[in-house]
Amino acid sequence: MKIVEAYLGLGCNLGECEANLCSALQQINELTSVTVNSISSFYRSKPLDNMPQADYLNAVVQIETGLLPIPLLDKLQAIEYQHGRRRHQERWGPRSLDIDILLYGDQVINHSRLRIPHPGISQRDFVLIPLVEINPQIRIPGLGKISEVVALCPDRGLSKLPTPCLSKKHR
């Protein structure tokens, strides 16, 4: 089984967001063939396109996995479902938990259920800034060095927060 480094983006703006993200991080770490290596700080961000809804709480996690992308996606969507996420909800609407596969090794994937790098990654400071925190040397396939991508990303007023649910091992 080949082990791949992947990055996941987590977000929430419904319910107890801090508890939802902490629970999701624990569940990800408990998945078979997944090891959590690093977790970013939590960040508060405004909704995309200034949609009338509560601010989001976001984080990025770096994992190593032996799972292929679609089986990994299935397991992550099962965690979302356990937290009340339903896929028929409006695009960019409020959600109790969102887990996106941002990067999967250096692969570019265009599948009907999954696109990697995650579409819109270059326009999302709530993904890029936590990625830089975890790995300032990372390259995004098709886009280049993270520092170059961040420099072109709109600043939407991201706020860094403490991440209370993490052990020192993951900070």
Range of the domain at 48: 4-164
Q: What is the pLDDT of residue 93?
A: 63
Point out the catalytic residue in the list 44, 86, 100, 113.
100
Q: In this structure, what DSSP letter does residue 52 have?
A: S
- In-domain check, residue 96: yes
Read off the pLDDT of each residue in 100-116 and give the average, rounded to a whole number.
94
Could you give the number of structural domains in the chain? 1
Q: What is the pLDDT of residues 6-39, one digit of tens each?
A: 999 999 998 899 999 999 999 999 999 999 999 9
Confidence of residue 169 (pLDDT cuts 50, 70, 90): very low
- Give yes or no for residue 88 having a pLDDT over 60: no
Q: Is 91 among the residues known to form the active site?
A: no
Biggest alpha carbon–alpha carbon distance for the chain? 45
Q: What pLDDT is stored for residue 167 in this prediction?
A: 46
CATH value at residue 107: 3.30.70.560
Nearest Cα residue to 151 out of 110, 171, 123, 115: 123
86 assigned to active site: no
Check residue 170 and give its pLDDT: 45
Q: Between these two residues, 115 and 1, which has the higher pLDDT value?
A: 115
**Gap between the Cα atoms of 54 and 47, Å rounded:** 7
Tens-place pLDDT, residues 131-141:
999 999 999 99
Q: Considering the domain boundaries, does residue 31 fall inside one?
A: yes
Q: How far is CA 91 from CA 10, 52, 96, 144, in A?
A: 16, 13, 14, 28
In a domain, 170, yes or no: no
Both tokens assigned to 10: 């987590």
* 169 assigned to some structural domain: no
107 within some domain: yes
Q: What is the DSSP letter of 16?
A: S
Residue 171, domain member (yes or no) = no
Predicted model pTM:
0.91
Residue 156 is among the residues annotated as catalytic for this protein: no
Over residues 36-44, mean pLDDT? 94
Active site residue 155: no
Catalytic residue, chosen from 44, 49, 85, 113, is: 85
Instruction: For residues 169 and 157, give the distance between their C-alpha atoms in angstroms, rounded to a whole number.
Output: 29
Residue 80: inside a domain, yes or no? yes
